[in-house]
Chain A
Amino acid sequence: MTGNVQPLLQITSVSKAFGGIQALTDISFSLAGGTITGLIGPNGAGKTTLFNLISGVFPPDTGKIIFNGNDIRNKKPHQLVSLGIARTFQNVELFDSMTALENILVGQHTRTRCGMMGSILRLPWVAREEQNARNLSMELLDWIGLGEQTNAKSGDLPFGWQRLLELARAMASRPKLLLLDEPASGLNIVETLRLGDLIRKFRDQGVTVLLVEHDMSLTMEISDRIVVLDQGRKIAEGAPRDVQENTEVIAAYLGTPKKIDD
């Protein structure tokens, strides 16, 4: 598909069952570096399960997940961040008792290394590291337009801003792959448009994005490729325009019309 270029994320024949329920059956696809891929499907299609597999919440029953040359099947979520995978949550999960700035600073956890002893002794390199982290956090906050809210408690911010802050926190780890779980849910039209612009900017900086989203207009507009799931199976994959015209996809969303002569 991508010729001889190694894809950033390669998912091969992945299956996952919960008790008797087969959540995912034999899913394969890959993400090329620097692209935006939309993962869509009706409710219960297995989008969230797939998302959780990639972000290390639980391992697949069978199949392989290769990220940037590493097998990440049994890696824990925090290890994946160091490898270069960052994520956001469907219901924004910020650290509410902390300020906007501190949230972004925690986002840089894997890029800084001061430990218990380092913090107690406060050696010169620790102070330098802290200052650098602060500068970068300020830049990120400015970039998403929250530069004025540095010291506001993240829990006190309006919901739309919280979404942006969570996005900036994920970006603070300088990920190669960004997993976004319904980033537009709860946003109004203007906010959704801004979000789309931001995600495109991320891609232009070389970040690969996998997007699970219900907002079709956003997904179709910003995605380079679309993967469609239905009842745990992949039913289509391709450019947004092709997927929209795919009869199986239309059937999955709207149901199959009954033939009159049946």
Chain B
Amino acid sequence: MRLMTRTRIVYALFAAVIAVSGWAINSPYYLQILTFIGINTLLALGLNMLMGYAGQISLGHGAFYGIGAYGTAILTVHWHLSPWLALPVTIFAVILVAFIVGIPTLKLSGYYLGMGTLGFGMIVNILFREWSSVTGGASGFVGIPSLELGPISFASAKNYFYLVWGFVILSFIVCHRIIHSRVGRALRAIHDGEKAAAAVGVDTSRLKLQVFVLSAVFSALAGFLYAHMVFFISPESFSFIASIRIVTMVVIGGMASVWGSLLGASVLTLLPEWLHAFSEFEMVVYGLILMLIMIFLPKGLTRGLLDMYERAGKKNDR
């Protein structure tokens, strides 16, 4: 019980920090970067449920991210649907795709699951690039409308910031609740030992499929928010590289940690911005930093920093 109230305080603080940031920051540039962090956090959080908790890798989540973005683009521009109607339709489509893809691929494990999902991601990306009549092809999709809700327009950077982070908080609560439940325990059980999980009665294939679909929905939501923020999407944003970036966020931030997803997304969004100073060496320094984090904090930033803090605390006790 005491633990529950503590979590509530943490989430209330988190919401307060977001509210204050939105109120205090007026530069559209910073607001936009923070909003991108929010979108990336949704991506990382979704994949973390699959990778960090259930222990199943996916190198194809960029595809779900893309289907979310292209789905709403097609529905709102070609079909003239309201974005708020396009969102559930897109999510439904992603659930369907995730089911169809998940049933055969989740029979694989380890490297083979990685390869299977990688292949799926590539096929979807080729679809985005080559199906020009619908997706706009390699030159991209233009003219995606901005979001509105009654009198509130989300065209302003500040309102969009609130919208995205509102979704982030909601997703955090959803994930937190799943993790600390019978389902969450079963997921971690699969991670620790699939054979043993089945032997205590967990329907491992069904649960793996469920969490795969759940993580795809998070990616699609992120894609929706991305499309209506930038109004222009192109296949590169959802390529193989995008899938790898999501995996990197999870690993750098910390597997099996909701806050790790936030941290990983922040680092991977902010680093490229800060590293512009290195101009042509940007990617070299970027890669170097990721390598150093992995060498010195192999469990990711969250766990690594907590361990350091605990060690420091023990030293002071003596």
Q: C-beta contact mask, B170-203 vs A, less than 8 Å → 1, else 0?
A: 0000100110111111101101110111111111
In the assembled complex, the CB of B71 is this many whole angstroms from the nearest CB of chain A, namely: 23
B91 at the interface (CB under 8 A from A): no
Q: C-beta contact mask, A75-114 vs B, less than 8 Å → 1, else 0?
A: 0111001100011010001111110001001110110101
Partner of B203, one of A78, A98, A107: A78
A89 CA to B193 CA, complexed, in Å: 12
Q: C-beta contact mask, A135-171 vs B, less than 8 Å → 1, else 0?
A: 0000000000000000000000000000000000110
Residue of A nearest to B210 (CB): A116
A55 CA to B200 CA, complexed, in Å: 11
CB <8 Å contact, B214 and A173: no
CB <8 Å contact, A120 and B193: no
Q: C-beta contact mask, B247-273 vs A, less than 8 Å → 1, else 0?
A: 000000000000000000000000000
In the assembled complex, the CB of A253 is this many whole angstroms from the nearest CB of chain B, namely: 30
A249 CA to B178 CA, complexed, in Å: 54
A94 CA to B191 CA, complexed, in Å: 11
A194 at the interface (CB under 8 A from B): no
Beyond A81-B201, A97-B188, A122-B177, whether A89 also contacts B182 by CB under 8 A is: no
CB <8 Å contact, B182 and A112: yes
CB <8 Å contact, B214 and A97: no
Partner of B177, one of A77, A110, A119: A119
A157 CA to B144 CA, complexed, in Å: 57
Beyond A93-B193, A97-B191, A106-B197, whether A119 also contacts B182 by CB under 8 A is: yes
CB <8 Å contact, B181 and A119: yes
Residue of B nearest to A96 (CB): B192
CB <8 Å contact, A106 and B202: yes
What is the total number of residues of chain B having a CB less than 8 Å from a CB of chain A? 27
CB <8 Å contact, B202 and A109: yes
B204 at the interface (CB under 8 A from A): yes
Beyond A109-B201, A122-B177, whether A130 also contacts B192 by CB under 8 A is: no
In the assembled complex, the CB of B196 is this many whole angstroms from the nearest CB of chain A, namely: 4
Residue of B nearest to A166 (CB): B196
CB <8 Å contact, B182 and A109: yes
CB <8 Å contact, B185 and A106: yes
* Residue from the set A78, A112, A126, A130 with the largest chain B CB neighbour count within 10 Å: A78
Q: C-beta contact mask, A21-52 vs B, less than 8 Å → 1, else 0?
A: 00000000000000000000000000000000
Residues of chain A within 8 A of B180, CB atoms compared:
119
Partner of B181, one of A86, A95, A114: A114
Residues of chain B within 8 A of A107, CB atoms compared:
200
A78 CA to B196 CA, complexed, in Å: 10
* Residue from the set B180, B184, B199, B214 with the largest chain A CB neighbour count within 10 Å: B199
* Residue from the set A55, A81, A89, A109 with the largest chain B CB neighbour count within 10 Å: A109
A105 CA to B180 CA, complexed, in Å: 12
CB <8 Å contact, B201 and A173: yes
A115 at the interface (CB under 8 A from B): yes
Residues of chain A within 8 A of B182, CB atoms compared:
105, 109, 112, 114, 119, 129-130, 133
CB <8 Å contact, A87 and B185: no
CB <8 Å contact, B181 and A126: yes
Interface residues of A in 55-78 (CB under 8 A from B): 55, 76-78
Partner of A97, one of B183, B192, B202: B192
Residues of chain B within 8 A of A98, CB atoms compared:
185, 188-189, 192
CB <8 Å contact, B214 and A55: no
Residue of A nearest to B190 (CB): A95
A82 CA to B188 CA, complexed, in Å: 20
CB <8 Å contact, B199 and A87: yes
A258 CA to B189 CA, complexed, in Å: 53
Residues of A within 8 A of B (CB): 55, 76-78, 81-82, 86-87, 89, 93-98, 102, 105-107, 109-110, 112, 114-116, 118-120, 122, 126, 129-130, 133, 169-170, 172-173
Provide 6 A-B residue pairs closer than 8 Å at the C-beta atoms, listed in order of the A residue. A106-B189, A116-B178, A116-B210, A119-B181, A122-B181, A173-B200
